Amino acid sequence: MWRGLCEEPGPRLSPFSQGPRMPTIALVDDDRNILTSVSIALETEGYRIQTYTDGASALDGLRHSPPDLAIFDIKMPRMDGMELLRRLRQKSDLPVIFLTSKDEEIDELFGLKMGADDFIHKPFSQRLLVERVKAVLRRFAKEAPGSTPRGEAEVAARSLERGALMMDPERHTCTWKGEPVTLTVTEFLILQALAQRPGVVKSRNALMDAAYDDQVYVDDRTIDSHIKRLRKKFKVTDQSFDMIETLYGVGYRFKEA
């Protein structure tokens, strides 16, 4: 998940943590009431918790003690959530959920372009937050080494080679013309769904089903934002990359070699 980061001791974990096998979740919010209530809700489910009250301290803490998932507020002192995500994405595909107000639609679109995995609108129920956390962790686990997929998931877990594209779901690695391309979990699943059947059009709904849990609501613009970010990442490696085609009003497809 992280590349080239030191393994020094991180911040103190919650005293309610349930052991080393439980996922660790980092909470970053300057509202201590939210930190407390969300911590309690997640600790009740057995998760280990790290808390930070601003983006700058979170950046340092997350690099020294990487969690399995992070939840960020957008508006924070010293460093806001968007800048924190931008810096993390330089070296990490850590799953990130944003807490946002309903009137911050522009921030949501920007966050998706930066590589956010999900958004939860304030005010929210603790049960909704817990279910969203579980959903994102399940999506990430699909790409985790050592998982045991079955049925259709077994096909999805196989290494995929399409011309210059190489994808290894078990290692969550992707290369184009031999050069690594770092993808978030959602980006990886969308690209995988497209590349599995070159030339076949995938509707936005089909891509949503491939990348998101049934309990997570996303709209068309979410998929469009992920596709735009995928293209941008591949063009960093190869300016001529044009393998993801848009069929307006229909969906997307991976070009046949």
Cα(218)–Cα(14) distance, integer angstroms: 32
Where in the chain does DSSP place strands (E)? 24-28, 48-52, 69-73, 96-101, 118-122, 160-162, 165-168, 173-176, 179-180, 244-247, 251-254
More confident site: 19 or 67: 67
Q: What's the Rg (C-alpha) of the chain?
A: 18
pLDDT at 103: 61
- Calpha distance 187→185 (Å, rounded): 6
Which has more confidence, 116 or 213? 116
Instruction: Using the CB atoms, write b or e for 115-150: b if 16+ within 10 Å.
Output: bbbbbbeeeeeeeebbebbbbbbebbebbeeeeeee
- Domains delineated in the chain: 24-141 (3.40.50.2300), 152-254 (1.10.10.10)
Instruction: Read off the pLDDT band of 19 (50, 70, 90).
Output: very low
Compute the 3-state secondary structure of the chain and give helix, strand, coil in percent, each to the nearest 5: 40, 20, 40
Q: What is the pLDDT of residue 72?
A: 94
Identify the pLDDT of residue 155. Answer: 42
- Does the pLDDT of residue 31 top 50, yes or no? yes
* Better pLDDT: 214 or 230: 230
C-alpha span between 172 and 193 (Å, rounded): 14
Q: Count CB atoms within 10 A of the CB of residue 93.
A: 22
Tell me 2's DSSP state. Answer: B
Considering only residues 73 and 153, tell me which one the structure prediction assigns the higher pLDDT: 73
Q: Within 196-244, where are the H helices?
A: 204-211, 220-237
**Binning pLDDT at 50, 70 and 90, where does residue 148 land?**
very low
> Is residue 167 pLDDT above 90, yes or no?
yes
ω into residue 11 within 30 of 0, thus cis?
Answer: no
Query: 244 pLDDT band (50/70/90 cuts)?
Result: very high
- pLDDT band at residue 149, thresholds of 50, 70 and 90? very low
| Whole-number average pLDDT of the chain | 80
**Residue 22 vs residue 46, higher pLDDT:** 46
Which long-range contacts (C-beta less than 8 Å, at least 24 apart) are formed by 165-168?
165/195, 165/243, 167/191, 167/192, 167/195
